[in-house]
C-alpha cells in the first residue's frame, strides 16, 4: 500500500480503536499508558541513562570531568554556550524521534516537549532564558511532513518552563542531507541557511534553541552563530536526542 494511504488508514483505525503506546504500539496492558506511552517506553524516554557533557550534550563516562567540555567539544568550537538533552539517540527515544518524521507525529512531538520540560525543567529554569525558539524547517519539508517537529517540541517545552516561545529564525536555503564526511564540509553546507526574522527581538536576549536530534552539531552551531551575530547575549541548545 502506498505509504500515505497506509498512514491514513492507520490514523482512521487509531481514531476508531484507541491505539497502544505511541512509540512501540504495545497495547494497553495491566499498567495504563502514561502520556500515551507504555511503562517501558515512558521510563526509557524520561530517564537519561548516561551522564552528558553540559557544553555539547555528548554522552560521557560517569566520572568524566566536563567542567571545560568533553573530548568532542574541546576539539571544536560551537557558537552555542550550553546544551541540554532528553537523552541519547538510542532505544525507545530513537524510535520516538524517528516517528516524528511522519506527518501524523505532532501529538508525539507535543508529548516529548512536555516530557523534556518535566525532566529538565529545573535546570532550564535555573539557566534563565528570555525566549525558546525552534530550528526552522525548509518550507518544502514542512509541506511534506505537515508540521515542524522542532517547533512542536519547542512550543511545549516553552510552556512547560514558563518562557515565551517565538520563531526567531527563518530558513532561507534548503540544505541537502548532510553526508559530508568532514566537519568543515558539514559546516559549509549549512552556512547561510538561517536568517533572523524581521521584528524578532534577539539583541541582549538569552535564547534556547530547540531541535529534535543533534548529530554533529553543525546545524545548531550555524543557527547559534546567526543569533550571536544579531546580538544574542547567550544561546543554549535543547535537543530530544543526541547522537553518539
Cα angle 106-107-108, degrees, rounded to a multiple of 5: 90
Residue 69 as a binder of Zn ion (CB under 5 A): the answer is yes
| 20 or 121: CB nearest Zn ion | 20
Question: CA quadruple 69, 75, 76, 77: dihedral positive or negative?
Answer: positive
| 36 or 113: CB nearest Zn ion | 36
Q: What totals of helices (H) and strands (E) does the chain contain, helices first?
A: 9, 8
| 158 or 236: CB nearest Zn ion | 236
C-alpha cell at 8: 491514513
Question: Measuring CA to CA, which residue among 23, 51, 48, 52 is closest to residue 35?
Answer: 23
Residue 217 as a binder of Zn ion (CB under 5 A): the answer is no
| 73 or 223: CB nearest Zn ion | 73
Stretch that binds Zn ion, among 67-75, 138-146, 161-169, 194-202 (CB under 5 A): 67-75
Residue 56 as a binder of Zn ion (CB under 5 A): the answer is yes
Kindly state the smallest distance separating residue 96's Cβ from Zn ion, in Å: 9
CA–CA dist 70, 74 (Å, integer): 6
Residue 38 as a binder of Zn ion (CB under 5 A): the answer is yes
Kindly state the smallest distance separating residue 21's Cβ from Zn ion, in Å: 3
Stretch that binds Zn ion, among 10-18, 70-78, 160-168, 208-216 (CB under 5 A): 70-78
Residue 239 as a binder of Zn ion (CB under 5 A): the answer is no
Residue 216 near residue 241, CB atoms below 8 Å: no
Residue 226 as a binder of Zn ion (CB under 5 A): the answer is no
| 55 or 238: CB nearest Zn ion | 55
Kindly state the smallest distance separating residue 29's Cβ from Zn ion, in Å: 10
Residue 209 near residue 55, CB atoms below 8 Å: no
Phi first, then psi: give them for residue 133, nearest 5 degrees: -130, 140
Residue 112 as a binder of Zn ion (CB under 5 A): the answer is no
Candidate list 33, 70, 202, 240; residue touching Zn ion; CB under 5 A: 70
Kindly state the smallest distance separating residue 142's Cβ from Zn ion, in Å: 28
**In the window 18-37, what residues touch Zn ion (CB under 5 A)?**
21, 23-24, 26
Question: CA quadruple 108, 110, 111, 117: dihedral positive or negative?
Answer: positive
Residue 243 near residue 86, CB atoms below 8 Å: no
**CB-based contacts of 237, cutoff 8 Å, min separation 6:** 57, 80, 82, 83, 84, 208, 209, 210, 211, 214, 220, 224
Q: Which residues bind Zn ion (CB under 5 A)?
A: 21, 23-24, 26, 38, 41, 53, 55-56, 58, 69-70, 72-73
Amino acid at each position: 500500500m502506498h505509504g500515505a494511504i497506509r498512514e491514513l488508514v492507520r490514523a482512521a483505525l487509531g481514531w476508531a480503536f484507541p491505539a497502544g503506546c505511541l512509540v512501540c504500539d504495545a497495547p494497553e496492558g495491566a499498567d495504563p499508558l502514561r502520556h500515551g506511552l507504555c511503562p517501558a517506553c515512558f521510563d526509557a524516554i524520561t530517564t537519561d541513562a548516561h551522564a552528558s557533557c553540559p557544553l555539547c550534550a555528548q554522552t560521557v563516562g560517569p566520572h568524566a570531568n566536563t567542567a571545560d567540555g568533553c573530548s568532542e567539544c574541546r576539539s571544536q568550537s560551537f557558537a552555542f554556550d550550553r546544551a541540554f538533552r532528553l537523552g541519547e539517540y538510542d532505544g525507545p527515544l530513537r524510535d520516538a524521534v524517528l516517528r516524528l518524521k511522519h506527518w501524523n507525529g505532532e501529538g508525539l512531538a507535543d508529548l516529548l516537549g512536555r516530557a523534556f520540560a518535566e525532566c529538565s525543567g529545573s535546570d532550564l529554569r535555573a539557566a534563565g532564558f528570555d525566549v525558546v525558539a525552534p530550528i526552522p524547517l525548509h518550507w518544502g519539508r514542512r509541506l511534506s511532513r505537515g508540521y515542524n517537529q522542532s517547533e512542536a517540541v519547542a512550543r511545549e517545552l516553552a510552556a512547560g518552563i514558563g518562557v515565551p516561545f517565538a520563531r526567531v529564525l527563518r530558513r532561507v536555503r534548503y540544505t541537502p542531507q548532510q553526508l559530508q564526511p568532514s566537519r568543515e564540509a558539514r559546516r559549509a553546507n549549512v552556512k547561510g541557511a538561517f536568517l533572523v526574522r524581521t521584528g524578532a527581538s534577539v539583541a541582549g536576549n538569552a535564547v534556547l534553541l530547540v531541535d529534535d536530534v543533534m548529530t554533529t552539531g553543525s546545524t545548531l552551531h550555524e543557527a547559534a552563530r546567526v543569533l550571536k551575530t544579531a546580538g544574542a547575549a547567550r544561546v543554549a541548545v535543547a535537543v530530544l536526542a543526541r547522537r553518539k
